[in-house]
Amino acid sequence: MTYAVKECLRTLQGEGARSGRVAVLCRMSGCNLWSGQAADQPAAACSFCDTDFVGTDGPGGGNFEAEALADQIERMWRSQLLEPFGVPYVVFTGGEPLLQLDRDLVDACHDRGFEVAIETNGTLPCPPTVDWVCVSPKSTSDLMITRGHELKLVYPQRGLSPKDFEHLQFQHWFLQPMDGAQRQENTRACVDYCLAHPRWRLSVQVHKIIGVR
């Protein structure tokens, strides 16, 4: 299989339970909830998406076989690395990475010592060998993944309540303010909800605050 990758770079995890951790971010091209074209976004299930996942023209992007992509991820991890401490970590995201991510690619990353994480909308099956699963539900889409390590709900979304997900089997529960013109108001809404419902924790997009990708 050939994998289409928008970008692949070494950075800091910017959201959720592992915020601040050094990671290789591998952004896969394509999504099943939005074409990536501006004209289609108002009607998309993920109408608030702020990510460019179209094509393979980003830094470190391209088309790869499994072994070649795992090699690329390893090179990115080693770039500027002065101290070989800890377990190498790769986060597959998108778009929707589960349109492409399969066991062959996960195994190739494991063979190079990586812990493998995924950030997904949860509407497609996930290889069982993925080490860390973060699901971010979208309002008009049915979840196929109902258990994992963290559920990260962009909030508020029309027609979705955090309570809709509390019967699922996740270890961490995050509300993340929807970005855009109403971000300040959305952040206040998230804070208020977390204060009233301590199961939920606030997730902010630290990478945007500190100006890293």
- Structural domain span for residue 101: 3-150
Q: What is the CATH number of the domain that holds 94?
A: 3.20.20.70
Q: Which long-range contacts (CB under 8 A, 24 or more apart) does 79-86 make?
A: 79/10, 80/10, 86/22
Percentages of the chain per state (helix, strand, coil), in multiples of 5? 25, 25, 45
- Closest by CA to 120, choosing from 21, 212, 33, is 33
| Distance (Å, whole) CA 74 – CA 145 | 28
3-state secondary structure of 187: helix
Instruction: Establish whether the linkage from the previous residue to 156 is cis, with ω within 30° of 0.
Output: yes
23 part of a folded domain: yes
140 part of a folded domain: yes
Tens digit of each residue's pLDDT, the chain (213 residues): 999 999 999 999 999 999 999 999 999 999 999 999 988 888 887 888 889 999 999 999 999 999 999 999 999 999 878 787 789 999 999 999 999 999 999 999 999 999 999 999 999 999 999 999 999 999 878 999 999 999 999 999 988 999 999 999 999 999 999 988 899 999 999 999 999 999 999 999 887 777 776
3-state secondary structure of 173: strand
What torsion do the CA atoms of 90, 133, 149, 73 make, to the nearest 10 degrees?
Answer: 0
Question: How does pLDDT run across 55-66, given as a tens digit for each residue?
Answer: 999 999 999 999
- Closest by CA to 117, choosing from 140, 82, 81, 88, is 88
191 part of a folded domain: no
| Distance (Å, whole) CA 19 – CA 41 | 28
Tokens in use for 32?
Answer: 């099943």
Q: Where are the beta strands (DSSP E) in 83-212?
A: 89-93, 115-120, 132-135, 147-155, 169-177, 201-202
Q: What is the count of structural domains for the chain?
A: 1
183 part of a folded domain: no
Q: What is the pTM assigned to this prediction?
A: 0.95
142 part of a folded domain: yes
8 A C-beta contact, residue 155 and residue 189: yes
